[in-house]
A and B are shown apart, each in its own frame.
Chain A
């Protein structure tokens, strides 16, 4: 049982490039979320999903897209990277059905130059 996995661990992009951050969970959790973590700002929700085929925007969705075609996977796409997207990105999942404890992946450290 791997829990929540994320790839890559580190990434450097040039401004304007696009890429996809991968997230997968093997716990059959309904809920999945993407956060960014910036110094002094805690965790901010980018997008989330309450089940396969259902996604919604969080607090800071601009510049990011998500999809949830399966229960296991929840990729985050950066459409055109900007230096303001330099951050650490965490994916999380939770069972739902009254249990909203979140389980986190190890994070992806992204630098946009």
Chain B
């Protein structure tokens, strides 16, 4: 079954602390993995995709095919990182539609 799991509904860390948002997936083929972010009262927007292997706003994510994970990391959290974060995957088996995790709300405390 195709599935994306984000085990934490809420993650709260202090400003300057490291952040790791977990994402695990179940997929039979070779998926493309994404992280989307939704800031308060704004639309969802793409943060990262694994094929681009770039760092956006200090965030990175590495696809670990052995552990079927795509965790999102940032070494030093900033208050403006507070948002909802969604992990998603796409692939041939889903007709290239995105399969979404339930999301993690990240709160950065001052």
> Is B11 close to A, CB under 8 A?
no
Closest approach, in angstroms, between the C-beta of A13 and any C-beta of chain B? 22
B86 touches A100 (CB 8 A): no
Closest approach, in angstroms, between the C-beta of A16 and any C-beta of chain B? 30
B43 touches A104 (CB 8 A): yes
- Chain A residues touching B, majority SS: strand
Closest approach, in angstroms, between the C-beta of B101 and any C-beta of chain A? 6
Within 8 A of A (CB), among B41-55: 42-46, 49
Among the stretches A19-27, A42-50, A74-82, the one at the interface with B is A42-50
A101 touches B49 (CB 8 A): yes
Complex Cα–Cα for A60 and B17 (A): 39
Partner of A45, one of B6, B43, B45, B97: B97
Within 8 Å CB of A102, what residues of B?
36, 44, 46, 98
> Is A40 close to B, CB under 8 A?
yes
**Count, chain B residues at interface, CB 8 A:** 21
Within 8 Å CB of B32, what residues of A?
100
Instruction: Knowing A40-B102, A42-B103 are in contact, say whether A58-B49 is a contact too (CB < 8 A).
Output: no
Within 8 Å CB of B100, what residues of A?
42-44
Within 8 Å CB of A101, what residues of B?
34, 46, 49
Complex Cα–Cα for A96 and B43 (A): 21
Within 8 A of A (CB), among B1-48: 6, 9, 32, 34, 36, 42-46
Closest approach, in angstroms, between the C-beta of B98 and any C-beta of chain A? 6
Proximity bits, B71-110, A CB within 8 Å = 1, else 0 = 0000000000000001000100001111011110000000
- B interface residues with partner A (beta carbon < 8 Å): 6, 9, 32, 34, 36, 42-46, 49, 86, 90, 95-98, 100-103
- Going nearest first, the 5 A-B pairs with the smallest beta carbon separation are A42-B102, A104-B44, A43-B100, A104-B43, A100-B90
